[in-house]
Structure 1
């Protein structure tokens, strides 16, 4: 079988990115999804490591308004090392910004 997750890359007129550093709620884990599709493109994640998956999703599925911000986060997170790189102190900052300002921009 092939598990495909389809989502828009943005919501709320662009104020929410559907591709974020870390989600606040999980319905489908990384182990459940093999392909992600947005109107920006698709990311075939089969056989990729967590780092490769993140880079592929950012490059292929992220809306242009958020792509450089995600790439910046990812590059800085790589500096922290680890199998799944995160900057814990700012992983959910996009959600916090949305709650405070009404936009992730």
Structure 2
């Protein structure tokens, strides 16, 4: 898509960017390409979710690790006032909680 001129920070009606959509799909390779092209790593959708919050909610440790290595913020909160660690803890993903705690 990007090679055909798609906007890196285009938004859906819900405010999702390509990075947020790729994070929700668990597409680590696409996330990596978007981050390499300087996608906004802390973009938030209308719910306040970031790619890191989405990856944490889905228990995707590999994606959480990649986003953390790119410098994604662990401090941002969504509209429910939850951080990525809060979401991972609520969904019982201890490996993800540990990654976030050590970030």
TM-score by length of 2: 0.32
Could you say which structure has the higher strand fraction? 1
Over alpha carbons, which structure has the higher Rg? Answer: 1
Relative contact order (alpha carbons < 8 A, sep ≥ 6): 1 or 2 greater?
1
TM-score by length of 1: 0.32
Could you say which structure has the higher helix fraction? 2
